[in-house]
A and B are shown apart, each in its own frame.
Chain A
């Protein structure tokens, strides 16, 4: 192993907090925008539906990198000041992934059986109570697995912040390139491993939420299945 391993890891660690903050901030904004857009697309008011749909299509249908450039380089020309790089990054990560999340929220809300709406109407719950007390608590559980995917994508997208010099991990690895030429394999492998570890953290948290959610709905959380178990799978006994 290269003598520079310690140096590489310690430099990349310098970028870790920015990556983590950009990701957490982006996730927070994504959640807010996902619910706003997802519920907006289901609104009874055509204007609200239209605005929500417009937002989703714009931010899902244009390049995330260009969105970043737009907010960081173009917006200052219009408003006269420039956002702090980390903040601009969070805004773009949130806006972009919120557009995808809007579809997750919409789909999950629509997946709650009609019978649940009808049960709630029969109790004379108001439209707001029906959504907040009956539909959303069930829909949220369905949203967790797709949000897990989305959050991991957001984590990886945070590498785009290299373009606006926010000081996150990928940017640090770029800074190491001129001086550590011979060790580039190691440099980029270390960065990849850091992203992987962060993605695993996200997955562990989301899996836990999934279990809690399943239990709240009175479902038995699925047993951990060992896909790569040793020996024979029980159902292989019957042959092909």
Chain B
């Protein structure tokens, strides 16, 4: 650590005013503050409180919480590939994992390079400190797309959402919509055939560098929710597989267990709000139970929660502190409605097998309104108390 600090100190003059690398000032600043907590204190005079951890540290925690789901996603990519090729007995654990690793890594790199590239450029251009919000979005984005998404599509979608969902609104902390979900929504509406269309998008088709297997051209695998939308009464995968995550789906969303690990870390450190998270699950379960009881859906409440992106969205995206409701009471309503809308879209709209993305984006839009209602209710209640 000491040598890194020394190295940073050594190259620092190059990036200061008049230095030869001044054009990359924000790049240096971004990496320095990422590696070391900035040594700034509150100004003297007035009341300022600096929290012990700044937003870069919070973001890093979320990234750590995402790692189990990402690693499992990599393994599952390899597992699905071997399963599709009918070579499961010939595949080793590490072989499948490295195949998935190689399939996912380019997406991760593209997502970070494009997103951070835009962030650094904007920060440099506006002469601001580099914002770190993309640290989390950049790892979430590859996890919520199918494994066969072409890289150029991903690059365009990331650029679109960083510019139009984030920088336009003023950068990190100002965005109305979740950046990662806007990326997915852009892909979903722009290139539907690569996102859901035929069912060949969910399983990696070709061997990479001798790892993995070539899948026969005719093979297709639907996600469990896709199967339901196509008219089956029950998914072909077992409930056990669905919980562990050995089912076709977007890279990081399949495993409930891996997501639960991340959720524990987020809740234990207090980064994510337990109220939002819990109410999403409650809303989804209640709605799923109602539809099941009414005979509109063949899935029971439990499966609605386990399948698709429900858990991933509830844990990592509904709780996004920027775009979710901020009042304590508002969080309950916000979360509950996400669960309700997600399951409703799944059940009632035959065109969209999965509704989590649309539900969270819709509620992102209403979060400020929910907050406004709670704040004004508080104000009027206190005003009444004062008058009495």
Partners in one complex: no
Q: Which residues of B line the A interface, CB within 8 A? A: none
Q: Which residues of A line the B interface, CB within 8 A? A: none
